[in-house]
Structures are given as structure tokens and as C-alpha cells.
Amino acid sequence: MGLFIDLNVEQSIMKAIDKMGFEEATPIQEKVIPLGKEGQDIIGQAQTGTGKTVAFGIPCVERVEVEEKHPQALVLTPTRELAIQVAEELNKLGQFKGIRALPIYGGQEITRQITALKKRPQIIVATPGRYMDHMRRKTIRPEYLKIVVLDEADEMLSMGFIEDIETILQEVPNERQTLLFSATMPPKLRGIADRFMNNPVSIAVKAKQLTVENIDQRYIISPEKDKFDILCNLLDKETPELAIIFGRTKRRVDELTESLSIRGFAVEGLHGDMKQERRDHVIKKFKRGAIDVMVATDVAARGLDVNDVSHVINFDLPQDSESYVHRIGRTGRAGRKGISYSFVTPREKDHLAYIEESTKRRMTKMEPPTYADALTGRHQQAMDSLREAAMDPGVTQLSEPARELLEQFDAVTLVSAALKMVTKEPSKKPVKITGEAPVRSKHKPSRDNRSGGGGGGKRRRDRSGGGGGGLRINAKKRANRSGGGSEGGRGRDERRNRDERKSRKKR
């Protein structure tokens, strides 16, 4: 890998890259950035985890102009979560140049997006259906676009957005630069490239080999509504030195952080909405052990370098195996042993099997820890604290009061009382965690040892509610809540918008 400084990147962007903690460019970044800066059309065949967002992000940020009053670059993504993540990354790259990216997606109030568009962002990151809504309302003017990026194009094709993409590309100027990124290149995508791209250069990069050495990987099957109580029991039972808990969305991170704090854990959250100063403060507290638990999104945890993380817990499964490896790679560093736990709902078993196939490692199934397990863990903590106190030389100052107590009580009773005083019993305070839809597996695993849920067959929304830890799941709200839900829910939002538009045309 080469260094970013060798790619002749603008000084303001180099400053952002340094702040983001990147030094070496990935293979796709090395190949795409120089050509992208020159305005060349590019077909990049690369999977998630290869660094493609920065690969197309740097040319986008360099080529757009701060002073122009219209969006100059458009990034189309298949899902709302990816739109949010890409916009976050682009905003980090453009922070010192004054370039802003705005995510636009279905499920969020369109009036809120119109207000945000009036602030003149230079880059739009959008799902196809919602972008077309704005295009028809003329709240986004496509004639000013000079760069279009199709991110995870094969996923957009499989979700039924191909007609929308064709319509969008027909409306933008012919003199634009087009960058297409996809893990695969099916014939329909090749047709899009032939029709709408100008002598594109093809770049194919394989993902880094997935390795998960030194990590004991385990999983727990649990309904969505029970996950939080199980998480609390697990933390009490295991008493990790430092633990990172991964949630799928910023809302999830905020709710988990607040709820764990209510239950008495020393916890902080980390996600893309935080200012850099706050982010640095949280990481410093984590590194010095002022907090035991950090809850984070994938994007927020990028570049996080802490060697002493003992546990990684996937409260929500990631969308792909590369993200899974990146997550659990936060533990088991510098030759140390680490442990990871993944919470899997019954409908996510196929996705679990896909991750196991990709990493070539089987996870160990664990029974959900109970309140009794949690209490045992707390008792063990109390015993460790008492042992540590007994080894303190200053304890001899209390010898006389100790002898006095021993005249009244036997030693076992006294030690039991001391342990009871030291033990902090697990909390059962009620909390509210908004449920998330299960991850829909993009890939069918070849073996069926994990079959029975998840990716295959007809899908029904999880309508369960209430239950442990005060979890409440409202499927309708969940599907429309901004920043949340699975790609299945997002795809349905976009297709429903498209069907409504067709219906209005017929009328």
C-alpha cells in the first residue's frame, strides 16, 4: 500500500485524512483517486471493506467548488443507512475545505430535507426513490451535477432500482463524470455502463483476506425484545476489562448508552453525529479505563486503536462479513486473546451462516446468560475486590476493630457480610429500546446447518412487543424511523414510493 501523501491530494483533504487516522491508501484508493481527480469515468469492482468510499470521496470533494449554489455531485446508494454512512465520511473529508454532503432517503420527512437543501450542500447522497421525489419537486436541480457515483450498484439492481437509475442518469448533463462501484457486474449493470458512461476504466480489487485469529467467537440466539436484558446479564457475568458494543444505527447507540447507564454500567456512546472534540474525549476515557463499555456504530469505530479491549459484542449483526471482521478485530490485538459475542435473532440465522462461510470460522453457540449468572458474576467481582483490599498494607490499621467483630461473629459470617456490602446487585430498572428489523442476508449460505430463519422464505415483520428490559417494538414506526431499519425495510420504502408515483400518473 502507498501513502495518501503520494497521491497528490489537496492539502485541506490531507489534513482531514490525518485527522481521520488514515496513513496508507488501500489498493482501490491508490488506483481510483488519481484517475478520479482527472475526471475519468471509472468502473470499480470492489466489495465493502476495501475503502471505496474514500476512493470516490476524495475526487468528489476535490472537484466540487465551495462557492457554487447548487449540488455538484450525487452519490446514489441502495439503502438509507449506507447513505448516512457515506455522507458522514464525505463530510469528514470535506471538513476543512468547507464541503458539505447531505443524506437524502425515504422514511424521513421530505419537508425536513427540503429545509436542509436550502443550506446549499455541494454533495447529495441519496437513495434513488427519494432523489426522484426531489427531482420531480424541483427541490434538487440535476442540470448542475458534474459527478455521479453509483455505490453498490449491484445491490440497487437487485432491489429493483434500475429504472430509477436510468431516469436519473438521463436527467443529468452528458458532460458529467460517472463512477460506478459494484461487487459484481451482471449484464444489466454492464448495459448501464455502456449507455451512460464515457470510455470507463475498469478497476477490480479483491477484498483483504478475512482473518480472525486470537478471537474466541460466540453467538447467542435471542428474540429482539430480549436482547437488552441478555446484554446486561452478559456484562455482569463476564465483567469485561474493556468492551465495545456495536449497534447498527446512531439511534440504537444513543438508546443503548442511556439504558446501560440507567442499569449502572460505566458507559459512553460513539457515533457520527458527535463533534470531534466529544469523540476524542470518549476515546480517551475508554483508553484510560474511566469507562468499561463503549457503544459505537461501525463508522465511528473506524481507526479506533485500543489494545486492551477484552470483549466485542455485536448487539446488532453487521450487513456484511467485512464489517464483522472489522468489528471483532477491535479485540485480540498485540498477541492478546479476545472474545466476541454476536446476538442473532431467529430470522438472522442464514446471515450468521453467511458470515461463518466468509470468515472460514465456526462460532460457538452459547445459551443466553440468566439473572442468576449475572449475580454470580457480581459476587465474583466482590470477592476480587475483597482480595485486593486484603493485600493492601493499610488494612493492618483495622486489626483491632476486626478482632472485636470476631468476638461477636464467626469468620464466615463476617466475610459474607463484607461481600454483601461490596456486591452491587444487577439492576432491573425498566428501560426502553426501540426494536430494529432483522438483517436480511444478501447471500445464501451453501450449507444449511444454520437454516431455519433469516434470509430465506417469505418475510413477515416482527410484531412482538414488551418483554424483558422494557423493550417495545413497533414495526410500522420502525420501518419509517430515520436512520433505522434493515435494508429490506428501506427497499420497501423506496418501492412503495415508486408504486405511489405510478398510481398517481395513471389517475
The reported pLDDT for the residue numbered 284 is 87
Question: The domain that contains 171 carries what CATH number?
Answer: 3.40.50.300
Q: Quickly state the pLDDT bin for 298 (edges 50, 70, 90).
A: confident
Quick one: cell of 88?
458522514
The pLDDT of residue 282 is above 80: yes
Asked if the structure places residue 493 within a domain, the reply is no
Q: Quickly state the pLDDT bin for 129 (edges 50, 70, 90).
A: very high
Within this chain, do residues 282 and 385 fall inside the same structural domain, yes or no? Answer: no
Query: Is the model more confident about 312 or about 208?
Result: 312
The pLDDT of residue 472 is above 80: no
3-state secondary structure of 408: helix
Q: Quickly state the pLDDT bin for 457 (edges 50, 70, 90).
A: very low
Asked if the structure places residue 30 within a domain, the reply is yes
Mean pLDDT of 391-409: 85
Single residue among 169, 204, 239 that ends a domain in this structure: 204
The reported pLDDT for the residue numbered 305 is 67
The pLDDT of residue 337 is above 50: yes
Single residue among 135, 170, 204 that ends a domain in this structure: 204
Single residue among 204, 224, 248 that ends a domain in this structure: 204
Asked if the structure places residue 209 within a domain, the reply is no
Mean pLDDT of 54-70: 93
Domain assignment of residue 390, given as a range: 378-422
The pLDDT of residue 150 is above 70: yes
Q: Are 25 and 1 in contact (CB under 8 A)?
A: yes
Q: How far apart are CA 316 and CA 484, in angstroms?
A: 12
Mean pLDDT of 33-59: 89
Asked if the structure places residue 300 within a domain, the reply is yes
Q: Over the stretch 180-205, which tens digit does the pLDDT of each residue have?
A: 999 888 899 999 999 999 999 999 88
Asked if the structure places residue 240 within a domain, the reply is yes
Q: Quickly state the pLDDT bin for 21 (edges 50, 70, 90).
A: confident
Question: What's the per-residue H, E or C state across 252-286?
Answer: HHHHHHHHHHHCCCCEEEECCCCCHHHHHHHHHHH
In this prediction the pTM is: 0.54
Helices (H), 247-370: 250-262, 276-287, 298-301, 321-328, 349-359
Question: How many domains are contained in the chain?
Answer: 3
Within this chain, do residues 119 and 255 fall inside the same structural domain, yes or no? Answer: no
Q: How far apart are CA 238 and CA 426, in angstroms?
A: 13
The pLDDT of residue 387 is above 90: no
Query: Is the model more confident about 364 or about 422?
Result: 364
Rg of the Cα atoms in the chain: 26
The reported pLDDT for the residue numbered 459 is 36
The pLDDT of residue 272 is above 80: no
Q: Quickly state the pLDDT bin for 454 (edges 50, 70, 90).
A: very low
Asked if the structure places residue 482 within a domain, the reply is no
Within this chain, do residues 172 and 47 fall inside the same structural domain, yes or no? Answer: yes
Within this chain, do residues 258 and 406 fall inside the same structural domain, yes or no? Answer: no
What number of other Cβ atoms are within 10 A of residue 211's Cβ?
12
Query: Is the model more confident about 387 or about 146?
Result: 146
Mean pLDDT of 103-116: 91
The lowest-confidence range among 17-31, 37-51, 318-332, 412-426 is 412-426
Mean pLDDT of 81-108: 91
Query: Is the model more confident about 492 or about 480?
Result: 492
Q: How far apart are CA 287 and CA 306, in angstroms?
A: 6
Asked if the structure places residue 352 within a domain, the reply is yes
Asked if the structure places residue 100 within a domain, the reply is yes
Mean pLDDT of 20-33: 88
Within this chain, do residues 260 and 390 fall inside the same structural domain, yes or no? Answer: no
Q: Over the stretch 309-322, which tens digit does the pLDDT of each residue have?
A: 999 999 999 988 87
Q: How far apart are CA 203 and CA 196, in angstroms?
A: 18
Q: Are 433 and 226 in contact (CB under 8 A)?
A: no
Percent of the chain with pLDDT over 70: 82
Longest Cα–Cα distance in the chain: 94
Percent of the chain with pLDDT over 90: 48
Q: Quickly state the pLDDT bin for 477 (edges 50, 70, 90).
A: very low
The reported pLDDT for the residue numbered 444 is 55
